[in-house]
Amino acid sequence: MRGGHVVFRQPVVQHTGEITEQTPLDVWLYPGSPAHGELYEDDGISMEYTRGTFSLREVEWAGTAEDGRLTIRQTHNGPGVPVRNRMLVHVRGDRGPGFVRIGTGDLMKLDAPLWGNGGPGSRYGDGFLDIRLPAGTTTTELTWGR
């Protein structure tokens, strides 16, 4: 992947009606120049998006897996559109950070058993910093560094 990009991913679904609040959203970040991405979601079936029934999420980020800043904003959330409760951020890098913060509070570093429990926190392995946001997070700022 070329640096400076934001890539949104989710599990494969047969149709958009299968996407619920529990469908995880993965945000993959690749170091390079600062990046901006937007994720637009609607029900995928009707014309209700013309009446504002859609969701728009913006992501801005700069940095590396060692030192970075990520801002996530829910800029539009129309009625009836599920807000995903589960978001994971993955940042490509050669080394992990010393700390990860969400807002002004530190996120816990999680070892393999704790990561498997599904709670918020961070880990580094296989060339990626992985950050699991607290359930229901729609707007936040993440920072990480040495």
Q: Quote the pTM value.
A: 0.89
Domain count, the chain: 1
- Under DSSP, the state recorded for 113 is H
For 91, the domain range is 5-145
Q: What is the pLDDT of residue 82?
A: 66
Whole-Å CA distances, 135 to 16, 70, 81, 88, 97: 21, 17, 17, 10, 23
Amino acid at position 91, single letter = V
CATH value at residue 46: 2.60.40.1180
pLDDT one digit per residue (tens) for the chain, 146 residues:
778 889 999 999 888 778 888 888 999 998 888 999 999 988 888 899 999 989 899 999 998 888 999 999 999 988 877 677 889 999 999 999 999 999 989 999 999 899 999 899 999 999 999 999 998 888 899 999 98
